[in-house]
Chain A
Amino acid sequence: MSATAAPAWRELDIDKLFLGFCLFVPLTALTIFFAYPLLTVVTRSLTEADGGIGIGNYIRILNAPSFWRATVNSLVMSLSTTAAVLMCGLVVAYAVHRCKVPGRALLLGAVSLPLLAPSLVQGLGLIFLLGRNGIVTKTTGLDINIYGFWGLLIANGLYALPQAVLIIGAALRAADARIYEAAEILGTSGFRKFVDITLPNIKFGLLSAGFIVFTVTITDFGNAATIGGDYAILATEIYNQVVGQMNFNLGAVVGILLLLPTILSFYLERVASQRQFGSVSDSAVPLVPTFTPKRDVPMTLAAWLVALLPVVTVAIVIYGSFVWLWPYRFDLTLKHYAVKVAGGYDPLWTTVQISIVAGVIGSLMLFALGFSLQRLPRHIVKPIYFLCLLPAAVPGLVLGLAYIFAFNVPGLPVYALYGTATLLAICNVTHYWTQGFLTTMTGLRQVPPTLEESAACLGASLPRLVRDVIVPSMAPTLVSVFFFMFMRSMVTLSAVIFLITASVSVASVSIMRLDEAGFTSQAAAYATCTMGIVVVASVLMRACLWALKRKQ
């Protein structure tokens, strides 16, 4: 028996080594590039001016009226945005999934436009429309001040709308037609059905969407930077403490305080989304809406009205980038594409490189981790799972700040990474880790276990199993995660803003700098180029997914 047992043990070792490797590498990376930096934020927030440890920084911040103003502003702005986005999101999602409206795909595409653009684009668009030199302001002669609360509300709302539509839409799709038929037989009116059946059924979906919108809004920095004006919020407060006053420790304190609502909101979102999507019955009969003029005509109008806003803001930015002198001379020109910013288009190409690296690292790491988690006992998986959910709750600015604390330390081996494009790529992977992780896990769960077991019985070792069976059958997920990381990395601003140097910068920072310097049209040109690349990536992704689907 020893004759056969010996190779058995060697085989087993390869598998264990492979599994260990798959777990160890991403987990170590997550520790070094997420847990450790975050911990430094905590310690720095407790480090006082004289180098001692204490809560002096907290007391200083909590006693500062400016902090309270920013907190109140942040909360008011985020809550109003959440309410507005939920309402608009419900209108669009309901129109798409429960009414017979023309051009559903177009409607969804229009609403999703802001996902393809740096978050500054909404702000830029609003400036072109309603700013001091906005086309509306000039033609109507009204005295509109878009910089501030209203501008932020609209810009953040546009930015968060696609995610709300996605989540509410998923909740609406899970409907069972039979319930509605039963209500119909009982003589229930359309409106009563909506109030008595639809709303209760999607309430956790609405909650989930609400918390996501709240988190996205309260942590956003790009819009606040372009259109926030004097309306101070927590994100700008951190930025001012750090970049304006070089007061890193106070920035850390604000960052920690900003973490509280986001972590709470994120936790509640997880709870709500589990309640909404935890148990979808397989036997549900899908609902097919029939044309009801009384409902569908107003819904079509309302939904398109909502969808028009993102289309107009994005379109006007593109248009504005080609116009000679907004809003006085509308001759078309390419002169704004000769940008007058440090490095010209170099940051754009750097961003593309960073995004590719982030896509590759992200999809590989997430796949390795997900793959090993599936083969580990529950009590080990749970804490790791939790750790993987955390990054979504950390605002980009806080993560960026954490990276300064953790890596801008001459003498540490990780200092070598500081100021490199690699660190920016890693930072992006960490920043968007959670969404990628959840997608990967869903993809892995869709590989039938019998497939792996068949391969195992045929004698396949784990590395072979991954190569021959798992990767081919979840290639669409890997492609999606890669492009998700790529596209987010192309447009993100908040985390990387602290990590750029004179030689290594990214596109969204260039856009911000151009806008700050008053070169709005050049900022628009730069944003248009960035969007162009993201659109190309999104088309490529669709082509890849289509090709993969045809093969299966």
Chain B
Amino acid sequence: MKLHLQNITKEFGPVVALDDVSFSAEAPEFICLLGPSGCGKTTLLRLIAGLSMPDRGQLRLDGEDLTRIPARDRGFGIVFQAYSLFPNMTVAQNIGYGLKIRGRPTAEIKERVGQLLDLIRLPHLADRYPYQLSGGQQQRVALARAVAVDPKLLLLDEPLSALDAKVRTELRAEIRELQQRLGILTIMVTHDQEEALLLADRVVCMQHGKIAQVGTPGELYATPVNRFVADFMGVSNLMEQSTIRQWASHLLNGHTPPADYIACIRPEDITLRPGATGARVRQVHFLGNLSRIELDWPGGKLVAEEAGRTSLVPGAEVGIDIAPHRCAWVAPQ
């Protein structure tokens, strides 16, 4: 099962929601569409689902052109952020609805619904109505309903963002488990980079309706292509080349980045040597499993991280070490 998007463009009046988007994905991949609010993630997901049509471009599944086929004939599973269970149907009826539409025999539907209820661990709630369920339970049911018809593609639009932190973590793991068990190509929209790092085989990072970078979470984190991706994928120290040349010129050894590229150094890649000199501790934030240390450095401010508690206190002098291979060179935009 291979999905192929080619030069997809979608405009809403003057707003270009998607600008020449192309990428491919193949089962059993888990893809996360990641980006800030308004960057076009939902628009892209709806296009893939067939809920709206692109202005230009093509969508293919296993070579077959899907572009003009409406949602109901694509048969993809979809889960929205909230409020998408049919309020007038019980949990079991909700899950079995897709099969009922396909005219499957009642016995088969019943069996399949039973299996899925076991899978989402809610067999005791089969006859409840959606309003009698918690948010997390509702999303589990929505997930079961989406996969009940063996969709070729599972689409999730921020399915977790209406839930509280604990339920979110639980359900996150369950989604991943379900996806892997079914081996189904899954595309999930999120604006939470942690979620993307945790779940995705590959992340599609979007910016202003364009794809900024596609890659594994590791690639996006370690070698972002530009400032936007670097910023979006966690905390980073971004420094002009001139600063590096002056204060940490060894980072340029063996590298000749284009002149306007900037250095991106992740905080955990900065090693602090207490007792040495070179930078001064400005502030220490204790975040539980790690400590974040803000430093005054001749080239500007730096952020470093150490595991657990640190012995450093504000005002202390420290030396800093950065391994050249830990420094990524990224485009300024």
Residues in A lying within 8 Å of B, measured CB to CB: 1, 4-5, 7-8, 11-12, 15, 448, 450-451, 453-461, 464, 468-469, 472-473, 551-552
With a cutoff of 8 Å between Cβ atoms, the chain B residues found around residue A457 in the complex are: 49-51, 71-72, 74-78, 146, 155
Q: Determine the residue in chain B with the shortest Cβ distance to A472.
A: B88
Contact with B97, one of A8, A468, A472, A552 (Cβ below 8 angstroms): A468
Evaluate contact between A12 and B70: CB separation under 8 angstroms. yes
Instruction: List B contacts of A15 (CB < 8 A).
Output: 70
CB-defined contacts of A460 to chain B, threshold 8 Å? 72, 97, 101
Q: Is B170 an interface residue (CB 8 A)?
A: no
Q: How far is the CB of B266 from chain A (nearest CB, A)?
A: 38
What sequence of 0s and 1s flags, for each residue 130-145 of chain B, a beta carbon within 8 Å of any chain A beta carbon? 0100000000001001
Q: Do A456 and B51 have beta carbons less than 8 Å apart? A: yes
B102 within 8 A of A: yes
Q: How far is the CB of B109 from chain A (nearest CB, A)?
A: 13
Inter-chain pairs besides A11-B73, A468-B97, 9 sampled, C-beta below 8 Å: A4-B73, A448-B83, A448-B84, A453-B71, A453-B78, A454-B142, A457-B49, A457-B72, A473-B86
Q: Which A residues are CB-close (under 8 A) to B46?
A: 453
Flag if A458 contacts B80 (CB, 8 Å): no
Interface centre among B76, B77, B98 (most CB of A within 10 A): B98
Q: B72 contacts A461, CB within 8 Å?
A: yes
- B164 part of interface (Cβ distance < 8 Å): no
B30-73 to A contact mask, C-beta < 8 Å, 1/0: 00000000000000001001110000000000001100011111
Scoring B76, B86, B142 by chain A CB atoms within 10 A of each residue's CB, the highest score goes to B86
Chain B positions within 8 Å of A12 at CB level: 70
Residues in A neighbouring B102, C-beta threshold 8 A? 459
A7 to B73, Cβ gap below 8 A? yes
**Nearest chain B CB to A377's CB is how many angstroms away?**
12
Q: Is the CB of B87 closer than 8 A to any CB of chain A?
A: yes
**Residues of B at under 8 Å CB distance from A?**
46, 49-51, 64-65, 69-78, 80-89, 97-98, 101-102, 129, 131, 142, 145-146, 149, 155
Q: Which of A11, A454, A464 contacts B84 (CB 8 A)?
A: A454
Inter-chain CA distance A448–B86, complex, in Å, is 10
Q: How far is the CB of B152 from chain A (nearest CB, A)?
A: 12
A469 touches B69 (CB 8 A): no
Knowing A7-B73, A8-B73, say if A453 contacts B80 (CB, 8 Å): yes
Instruction: For the complex, give the distance between the alpha carbons of A161 and B316 in Å.
Output: 77
B70 with A11: CB separation less than 8 A:
yes
Do residues B73 and A458 form an inter-chain contact, with CB atoms below 8 A? no
Of listed B83, B88, B142, residue having the most chain A CB within 10 A: B88
8 A-B Cβ contacts within 8 A?
Answer: A8-B69, A11-B73, A15-B70, A454-B85, A457-B76, A457-B77, A457-B78, A458-B72
Name the distance in Å between B44's Cβ and chain A's nearest Cβ: 15
Specify the chain A residue showing the minimal Cβ separation from B99.
A458
Q: CA–CA, A551 to B90, complex, Å?
A: 11
Those 4 A-B pairs whose CB atoms lie nearest each other, nearest first:
A472-B88, A458-B98, A450-B84, A450-B80
Query: Closest chain A residue to B86 by CB distance?
Result: A469
Residues of A within 8 A of B49 (CB): 453, 457
Task: List A contacts of B85 (CB < 8 A).
Answer: 454
Q: Which of A1, A5, A450 is the most central at the interface, judged by chain B CB atoms within 10 Å of its CB?
A: A450
**Residues in A neighbouring B75, C-beta threshold 8 A:** 457, 459
Which chain A residues border B73 with CB–CB below 8 Å?
Answer: 4, 7-8, 11, 459
Interface centre among B71, B72, B86, B88 (most CB of A within 10 A): B72
Interchain CB contact (< 8 A) of A454 among B65, B70, B78:
B78
Q: Is the CB of A456 within 8 A of B84?
A: no
Which residue of chain B has its CB nearest to the CB of A453? B51
- Hey, which chain A residues are within 8 Å of B65, CB to CB? 1
Report chain B residues within 8 Å CB of A473.
Answer: 86-88
Q: Which of A5, A456, A468, A552 has a CB less than 8 Å from the CB of B72?
A: A456
Q: Which residues of B contact A472 (CB under 8 A)?
A: 86-88
Report how far A458 CA is from B72 CA in the complex, Å. Answer: 6
A3 closest partner in B (C-beta): B64
Considering the chains assembled together, what is the distance between the CA atoms of A190 and B231 in angstroms? 53
How many Å from the CB of A473 to the closest CB on chain B?
Answer: 6
Chain A's closest residue to B74 (CB) is A457
- Residue of A with least CB distance to B81: A450
With known contacts A453-B51, A454-B78, A458-B145, A11–B72 Cβ distance under 8 A: yes
